[in-house]
Structure 1
Amino acid sequence: MQVPAEPATTGAQVWLARGAFALAFAAAVVLVAFAGGRSLMMVAVVAGGVVVFVAAGYWVLAGRGVIRALAAVLAILAPVTVLVLHIRAGLLWVAVLSLALVALAVLAARAALMVGGERMTTYAVEPARRPFLIMNPRSGGGKVTKFGLKEKAEAMGAEVALLDGPGTVDVAVLARDAVARGADLLGVAGGDGTQALVAGIAAEHDLPFLVVSAGTRNHFALDLGLDREDPAACLNGLTDGVELRVDLGRIGDRTFVNNASFGAYAEIVQSAEYRDDKTRTTLRLLPDELAGHRGARLTAHIADVTIDGPQAVLVSNDPYGSTDLAGLGRRARLDLGVLGLVAITVSNARQAVGLLRRSHQRGLIRLTGAEVVVDADAPEIPVGIDGEAILMPTPVRCTTVPRVLRVRVPRDRPGVPPAKPAVDWIRLRRLAFARQPADRSPTR
């Protein structure tokens, strides 16, 4: 089993961690100094409001109908009540100042724990001479037409094939025919499922692959550092681009660029609402899917670890750097040569909501490895492959092919920001009291 190496601690991280603790201490001092004996009352009122707000939030996610509506009202009333009580006690400014210091402490903590890491290596390349792009006009609510992608790509010398409807020739057939006719670059303006299919063909023929962020969510484009707001900017990779060498995931005879999901995750992928809003749909459905999951009993194997009976398994092409189980966060690197594994085992919807809200990590397993095998007590199981739901025979084997895909990206692009870490005060304490590293910068 492979686990990410712990990054070296910098002096800036140490002082940010110390600053976080100092700000948290200052928040407590403000309460005691200006509220006196009433500080405990203030803390109790705020703590009570938080408890009510969190409980109401749970029922907003897990409840239905009248219960959800009442919980939403309670979630609004809780902070309002706390605010009114502080105003009546003449302690509002004390509470605001203390909360501001706490907020600054959290910001400092996040900054201390944030590690940018090394960026993926880029390679200089010549412009493509005979690029071939496949575009889906229906993807992303019509972005191909809205941004004039076909016309702009053709002006740059690309051949463009539009997927006009159900009768359109198979995407793989289009891509292979273009390769046979001498295309020296393949690209897709469409969803991640289509991206993965054509990416596999590009890797098979050692051709560069261009991603145009014209899908609905564009997770692959996001992790490549591309501009999701302006898909036309991705086309600049045709004339002024650089190359990244990234991994491809394989599941059976298919490729995936983002993830393959099993169990409750795969059932959610089959939801009609999932394509339009993955995060909100997962938040709404996952607690009930986990608690009431009646599908096949799964077993996941990674390296020397066996996970028996998880309700949900997600295998990603390189690990996600966030604990956001609904939105799945971001991947800072796509060239680490490992798969990420997230497995969830909970007994009820309350525990599932706790995981989604990051209030605890019980029932959650995160590992990395070069191969994941998912088996079941059924001959076939539903699998969500980059958002496309299919049935696959068991056992299902997932592997990674390191740096096999040559992705062409614009030289000028937003890039991949470091993932925002969850605030871990135990790790922060270790940072705060760590010995500052010596300055290793080279002398000039």
Structure 2
Amino acid sequence: MVELVDTPSSRPWLARLSFVTAAAAVLLVLIGAGVRGSIGLLLVGGIGSAAGLAAAWWFLTHRGVLRWLAGAIVVLAPLVVAVLFARANLIWVMVGFGLLWWAAVAAGRRALAPAHEETAAEYETAPPRRPYLIMNPRSGGGKVEKFHLVERARELGAEVYVLNGPSVDVATVARQAVRDGADLLGVAGGDGTQALVAGIAAEHGLPFLVVSAGTRNHFALDLGLDREDPSKCLDALTDGVELQIDLGLIGDRTFVNNASFGAYAAIVQSPAYRDDKVGTTLNLLPEVLTGDHGTHLRLDVDGVTVTGPQAVLISNNPYAADDVAGLGERPRLDGGKLGVLAVTVRGAADAAGLISERGRARALTVRSTAEAVVDADAPTVPVGVDGEALLLPTPVHCTIRPGALRVRVPRHRPGVRPARPELDWARLRRLALARRRS
């Protein structure tokens, strides 16, 4: 029986288009390769993918000849699959399948996208009278000088403190500014410095200003700020609005992006990491991933215990559904939840199993929660907090502080890109079978 629902007319048609295109992709394979050929395609593709993933695990967990042999397999596996398809005259089938499947996924996600994207509420507030900005001239390859941020901020009435060395205690500088009457605190620098000063602003109920002068500017990205021209962030001093966002708390320290445990945290602790990131990572990964070096972790979240994960990432609000690893964007910063990701791969077999949904469910733990606890078999554990290498006592408690930080942003800014919805075929089917109520 067809369900009667109120829904925009284009969404059911997009859902139907998704299913039709997906069916066309399957039919193309069946017609072009035949039943036996289709089974062969699946077997060859699956074996090639599994071999590549297993070899990648060996590459990361071994050194010397074994590492480079595994690296060769990672490169050769897809080439061998392509050659086998070419010899069977099936390259055109796979190209056509890929294009049709891409169209099916694009249409499905468009159909499931919310009609109105929810964004953080904006509040009208008076411009600050005594803004105080801390600027790091070394951050982001010298963006403070390149974009004349000191001069621009002073023209707009801000007092500016320029960090003149790594020995300066940024928290002490910010607290003194509050005692001297600052009614806004801001930072032009990396996310680690942003987090320190943001915590002090939240403690005193002051608005906080982010200037995207860091290297990656993940926090600025998720606030919808201009990362190409950090001077435009200063427009908030005269024509701005306020957002009320969450802060992560790890122990007694705030974080604006994420806290990482395990592989990444252990690597960034190395003194050689700053000068040779790739070489240091490849050298330390075998011990870190196999558990022969460092601490063994345990994650407790929502009544579930994950024992021995190689890496744990806890973020201030979850990352997008297609970016749980924290390499991209968070759609919201005011959801009142931590994002939790734990990776547990025991060996090459688990790595190969990542091609299946069951294998991914076993290797990846993904949660959205208000609290998570990371423990270890040592009194302290390395942690990367917004890119800063720290050593914290165990167990480490991570919580969320909903609406703890007032952030002043320019009224006119690029904004946050809408999150791509997860492709839920069950929801898509219901939508495809729906028709508008007349």
Into which bin does the TM-score normalised by the smaller protein fall? 0.7 to 0.9
Alpha-carbon distance between aligned partners in 1 of 2:372 and 2:150, rounded to the nearest angstrom: 39
Unaligned runs of 5+ in 2: 1-5
In structure 2, what residue type is equivalent to 1:361? A
Q: Is the 8 A contact 1:222 1:228 kept in 2?
A: yes
Q: Is the 8 A contact 1:287 1:350 kept in 2?
A: no
Confirm whether residue 110 of structure 1 aligns to residue 109 of structure 2.
yes
- Give 1:327-366 correspondences, 5 Å limit: 327-349=326-348, 351-352=350-351, 360-366=360-366
Confirm whether residue 260 of structure 1 aligns to residue 256 of structure 2.
no
Match of 1:4 in 2: none
Instruction: Classify the secondary structure of the residue corresponding to 1:324.
Output: coil
Confirm whether residue 428 of structure 1 aligns to residue 425 of structure 2.
yes
In structure 2, what residue type is equivalent to 1:194? T
TM-score in terms of structure 2 length:
0.83
Select 1:71's aligned residue among 70, 73, 96: 73
Give deviations 1:53-90, integer Å, cap 9, x for gaps.
Answer: 5633553464165325523541563465257436xx4x
Match of 1:44 in 2: 40
Relative to structure 1, is the Cα distance of residues 368 and 102 closer, same or farther in structure 2, using a 3 angstrom cutoff? closer
- Give the C-alpha shift of residue 422 in structure 1: 5.4
Match of 2:52 in 1: 56
Alpha-carbon distance between aligned partners in 1 of 2:138 and 2:355, rounded to the nearest angstrom: 32
Q: Which moved more, 1:187-196 or 1:335-344?
A: 335-344
RMSD: 3.6
Alpha-carbon distance between aligned partners in 1 of 2:292 and 2:108, rounded to the nearest angstrom: 37
Alpha-carbon distance between aligned partners in 1 of 2:9 and 2:344, rounded to the nearest angstrom: 39
Q: Is the 8 A contact 2:226 2:413 kept in 1?
A: yes
Relative to structure 1, is the Cα distance of residues 137 and 293 closer, same or farther in structure 2, using a 3 angstrom cutoff? farther
- Give the C-alpha shift of residue 390 in structure 1: 1.2
Give deviations 1:222-278, integer Å, cap 9, x for gaps.
Answer: 111112222122111111111100011122221111112223342244357977999
Instruction: Give the number of equivalent residue pairs.
Output: 424
Relative to structure 1, is the Cα distance of residues 221 and 278 closer, same or farther in structure 2, using a 3 angstrom cutoff? farther
In structure 2, what residue type is equivalent to 1:237? A
Instruction: Classify the secondary structure of the residue corresponding to 2:144.
Output: helix
- Give the C-alpha shift of residue 207 in structure 1: 0.9
Alpha-carbon distance between aligned partners in 1 of 2:372 and 2:196, rounded to the nearest angstrom: 20
Q: Is the 8 A contact 2:261 2:311 kept in 1?
A: yes
Relative to structure 1, is the Cα distance of residues 285 and 231 closer, same or farther in structure 2, using a 3 angstrom cutoff? farther
Give deviations 1:345-365, integer Å, cap 9, x for gaps.
Answer: 331255357659987232322
In structure 2, what residue type is equivalent to 1:428? W
- Give 1:394-413 correspondences, 5 Å limit: 394-413=394-413
Select 1:24's aligned residue among 22, 25, 28: 22
- Give the C-alpha shift of residue 322 in structure 1: 2.8
Alpha-carbon distance between aligned partners in 2 of 1:231 and 1:373, rounded to the nearest angstrom: 36
Alpha-carbon distance between aligned partners in 2 of 1:354 and 1:141, rounded to the nearest angstrom: 41
Q: Which moved more, 1:186-195 or 1:150-159?
A: 150-159
Relative to structure 1, is the Cα distance of residues 36 and 217 closer, same or farther in structure 2, using a 3 angstrom cutoff? closer
Relative to structure 1, is the Cα distance of residues 367 and 74 closer, same or farther in structure 2, using a 3 angstrom cutoff? same
Alpha-carbon distance between aligned partners in 1 of 2:33 and 2:106, rounded to the nearest angstrom: 27
Relative to structure 1, is the Cα distance of residues 46 and 375 closer, same or farther in structure 2, using a 3 angstrom cutoff? closer
Match of 1:152 in 2: 152
Match of 2:384 in 1: 384
In structure 2, what residue type is equivalent to 1:187? G
Q: Is the 8 A contact 1:320 1:329 kept in 2?
A: yes
Unaligned runs of 5+ in 1: 1-7
Instruction: Classify the secondary structure of the residue corresponding to 1:407.
Output: strand
Alpha-carbon distance between aligned partners in 1 of 2:283 and 2:104, rounded to the nearest angstrom: 31
The percent identity for this pair of structures is 55
